[in-house]
Amino acid sequence: MTLISLRKILFATIVLVTSFSLAKGGGGNHSVGGALIFASPSQDDFDTLIGTANTAAGGISTKPMGQGYELVLQYMYKFSGSMFALLFRPSMFTQSSKGSAASGAKYNYELSGWTLFPMFRMTPLENSFMKFYMQVGVGYGRLTGKIRENVSTIEFSGGNFGGITGLGAEFCFFDDHCFNLEGNFRYLPFERNKATSVSSAGGWSSTITGPSESGEEVEMNNRDLGTTLSGILATLGYTYYF
């Protein structure tokens, strides 16, 4: 997924939200908002690559993959007179770990991607200040990776469908402006990734064993290299109702 394509998706999302805003009616509650997600998906295969490269090359400062970050846009329609609502959430994700050897050689491991998740929300408890809700959804995500070990680099991507569920609370300090706290669990693994660019003339310090050209599946220790967006999502958000 290129940056241009991602921009097209975000532009289409903004157009969709605007269209809903202009066409609002039917006695429901519309809202738009955004959120910052702190995610820590366990990139076990990346951590294995980092560990073996550090040991093989020696003196490399690359740390295991740590905190990931995700930016979310949201449109929600709550059905009038009920506790049910429908949400549409696109997001952008990033996670990385970068290091270098004493010689100055770079050892970088990067992931970036996007998700699209329609969701169903139920709000069993609410008053003018606080809302407590539960939500569930299914959607699609795509993750792009880039690995650089000295002069060798490989870029790859993978996509998959997954699910999400969680709980949240919304606090409205003003009539139309609210803040959200959420805890969600998302299941979205990418068990296979295909290379989009390969340059391995310098060889690999880690256990990457293929491919030698783009279009083939990326492998480590002669098995598929996997990535994931699965895990706990701690979310801080803002919502504007209209």
Q: List pLDDT tens digits, range 145-172.
A: 999 999 999 999 999 999 999 999 999 9
- Is the confidence at residue 231, as pLDDT, over 70? yes
Query: Whole-prediction pTM value?
Result: 0.84
- pLDDT given for residue 175 in this prediction: 83
- pLDDT given for residue 7 in this prediction: 52
Report the half-sphere exposure of 135 (CA within 13 A, side-chain side).
Answer: 29
Give the H/E segment covering residue 45.
helix 44-57
Q: Contact, 164 vs 206, CB < 8 A? A: no
- pLDDT given for residue 22 in this prediction: 41
Q: What radius of gyration, in Å, describes the C-alpha atoms of the chain? A: 21
Domain count, the chain: 1
pLDDT band at 187 (very low <50, low <70, confident <90, very high): very high
- pLDDT given for residue 11 in this prediction: 54
Mean pLDDT of 182-194: 97
- pLDDT given for residue 9 in this prediction: 52
| Sign of torsion over alpha carbons 120, 2, 8, 93 | positive
Mean pLDDT of the chain: 89
Range of the domain at 198: 3-241
Where residue 156 sits, what CATH number does that domain have?
2.40.160.20
